[in-house]
Amino acid sequence: MSLLNSTVGGIVRDWAKLRPEQEAYVYPEHGIRKTYDEFDRETDELAKAFIGMGIKRGEHVAIWSDNKPQWLLSQFATGKMGAVLVTVNTNYQSKELEYLLKQSDATTLILDEGFKGTSYIDIIRTICPELQDSKDGVVNSGKLPKLKRIILMTDSEESGIYKWSEFLHHAEGITDADLAEREKTMSPEDVINIQYTSGTTGFPKGVMLTHHNIVNNGRLIGDYMKLTEEDRVCIPVPFFHCFGCVLGNMAAVTHGSTMVIVEQFDPLRVLEAVHEERCTALHGVPTMFIAELNHPDFKKFDTSSLRTGIMAGSTCPIEVMKQVINDMGASEITICYGQTESSPVITQTRTDDPIEKRVSTVGQPHPHVEVKIIDPATGMEMPVGVPGELCTRGYHVMKGYYNNEEASREVIDEDGWLHTGDIAIMDNDGYIDITGRIKDVIIRGGENIYPREVEEFLYTHPGISDVQIVGVPDPKYGEELMAWIIPKKNVIIDEESVRSFCRGNISHHKIPRYIKFTDAYPMTASGKIQKFKLREMSIEESLSHQ
């Protein structure tokens, strides 16, 4: 099957013509349900509002909220008028948000009022105190010179910030012809999305993804799930992550399926949504499925409508897979593997793969995707059954990291191969097993955490001389963080003061669960820290706390 030559917005238009009365999306919690015709008209109106605000093609619009309808509409509206949507992690705190807005050159920020007890409005006012005296929504920030406007997803009165209704009024002077003219200037090869992922340097990097990247990746993901217009896909995974906005939204929309959206993951809400909306597909990381299966009211819900879905983010235990198939009824559940830099899916199991392949491998490469496994030291291709670094090439490889050519060259070689940093083995049938990571990334509940980023932050603590972060196994999240800290001389610090220093500055999932103070690290003869020994020591320490 050939690749699509379409924009993100073009896909919505196509389905609005083909199946105007087909349900496009449903928010069970709010009683919202919209057809593809309504979805098309809503996103047209929002696209016009962006244009009416003066947002140009290629301009960067950051969005910070959970899976709100405004997020969904903004994803496809920017896909119609050419702004680049910059996705912001809902867990971000002040330092992380400031870095992202600055590094991405975002001119616009769309935000909700808050998330899980964190006030987003307080955070943006801390970063941008000038808002208090801003007139007519024009922002002039010393720290963020590119930021020109902030839009709130509600109609609360906030000085210097547009209410959502005020924002929508900007569509009034823009005609259908104006929008059509803007769309004509767009190409499927344009960057439409920037997603931030941490790097080994400890600083997040903005992955530039094009319409061509995510439209086709979503289409192939849905093909592997055998999605059609009859399918109803339950999406409780976050939109800011590729899992939500590509494996969820793009996979559904490219097949004319219905998106059944849960704003924030809650096992009870997911079970209710599947039951009430007769969902045929369900997405989640293994911990989400475990929470649903173990919910005390699980047996009260009818999940027999489930057929397929995606489990990704970390390895799926075979017993969980069996429960999802036998107890939930999702006999055609699939496993995906990839990374943001690859749009994100590289390999996927098929609906009819045997269960052994679905739990012991991450499937086979998608069509139009090349994969090779190399010796990272020599670059030589490894034979079947021998581990090496997984590299991939094709339509799905990102355009590069925004404003970071050096980092782009480090991961994409001259021949266009993306080096994933993951260690993999391919079997005789072409199925791939991910066995480890060259980098020290810690995967906690499906979220990638890079030790260096947390270490860099903790280095700013006035009482810390040195710190090393390692991952330790955890029955709930897969892995947790442990910090080994060497305090400065004559300084007394304790675990709580370290955690208190983290709160409000870095995301809660990056705050170390375990903290151990030491006066030295295990070292090699050449003076390098032996992280593997620290990890062994950490596992012993964490087990004593469990």
DSSP-based three-state secondary structure for 350: coil
Q: Quickly state the pLDDT bin for 314 (edges 50, 70, 90).
A: low
418 assigned to some structural domain: no
pLDDT for the residue numbered 412: 98
84 assigned to some structural domain: yes
Q: Give Dmax over CA atoms of the chain in angstroms.
A: 72
Are 232 and 277 in contact by the 8 Å Cβ rule? The answer is: yes
Which CATH number fits the domain that encloses residue 70?
A: 3.40.50.980
321 assigned to some structural domain: no
At which of 132, 166, 186 does a domain end?
186
Are 468 and 483 in contact by the 8 Å Cβ rule? The answer is: yes
**Residue 59: domain span:** 35-186
- Neighbouring CB atoms inside 10 A of 35's CB total 18
pLDDT tens digits along 13-34: 999 999 999 999 999 999 999 9
- Neighbouring CB atoms inside 10 A of 93's CB total 19
Look at residue 201 and tell me whether its pLDDT is greater than 50.
Answer: no
Are 275 and 297 in contact by the 8 Å Cβ rule? The answer is: no
At which of 186, 221, 255 does a domain end?
186
- CA 357-362-368 angle, 5° bins: 115
Classify residue 454 as exposed, middle or buried by CB count within 10 Å of its CB (0-12, 13-18, 19+).
buried
Bond from prior residue into 344 cis (ω within 30 degrees of 0): yes
Pairing of strands 108-111, 60-64: parallel
Look at residue 148 and tell me whether its pLDDT is greater than 50.
Answer: yes
7 assigned to some structural domain: no
CA 80 to each of CA 19, 57, 167, 226, 232: distance values in angstroms, whole numbers, following the listed order: 19, 10, 17, 27, 24
DSSP at 148: -
Which residues lie closer than 8 Å to 322 by C-beta, 6 or more apart?
Answer: 355
Instruction: State the Cα–Cα distance between residues 191 and 209, nearest whole angstrom.
Output: 5
Q: Quickly state the pLDDT bin for 545 (edges 50, 70, 90).
A: low
pLDDT for the residue numbered 436: 66
Are 32 and 48 in contact by the 8 Å Cβ rule? The answer is: no
pLDDT for the residue numbered 191: 98
Instruction: State the Cα–Cα distance between residues 99 and 368, nearest whole angstrom.
Output: 35
Instruction: State the Cα–Cα distance between residues 100 and 98, nearest whole angstrom.
Output: 6
268 assigned to some structural domain: no
Q: Which helix (H) or strand (E) holds 281?
A: strand 281-284
Look at residue 167 and tell me whether its pLDDT is greater than 70.
Answer: yes
CA 14 to each of CA 19, 132, 244: distance values in angstroms, whole numbers, following the listed order: 9, 44, 22
Distance of CA 337 to the CA centre of its chain: 13
Are 310 and 333 in contact by the 8 Å Cβ rule? The answer is: yes
Look at residue 74 and tell me whether its pLDDT is greater than 80.
Answer: yes
Instruction: State the Cα–Cα distance between residues 232 and 248, nearest whole angstrom.
Output: 11
- The model scores a pTM over 0.75: yes
Q: Which helix (H) or strand (E) holds 421?
A: strand 418-426
At which of 186, 213, 230 does a domain end?
186
Are 252 and 288 in contact by the 8 Å Cβ rule? The answer is: no
Domain count, the chain: 2
Task: State both tokens at 150.
Answer: 């902030």
Are 26 and 277 in contact by the 8 Å Cβ rule? The answer is: yes
495 assigned to some structural domain: yes
13 assigned to some structural domain: no
Which CATH number fits the domain that encloses residue 517?
A: 3.30.300.30
Which residue(s) pair with 151 in the sheet?
110, 162
134 assigned to some structural domain: yes
Q: Quickly state the pLDDT bin for 456 (edges 50, 70, 90).
A: confident
- Averaged pLDDT for residues 54-77: 98
- Terminal CA-to-CA distance of the chain, rounded, Å? 51
DSSP-based three-state secondary structure for 497: helix
Are 195 and 207 in contact by the 8 Å Cβ rule? The answer is: yes
- Averaged pLDDT for residues 298-314: 94
Look at residue 440 and tell me whether its pLDDT is greater than 80.
Answer: no
pLDDT for the residue numbered 353: 94
pLDDT for the residue numbered 396: 98
CA atoms within 13 A on the CB side of 62: 28
pLDDT for the residue numbered 466: 84
pLDDT tens digits along 171-196: 999 999 999 999 999 999 999 999 99
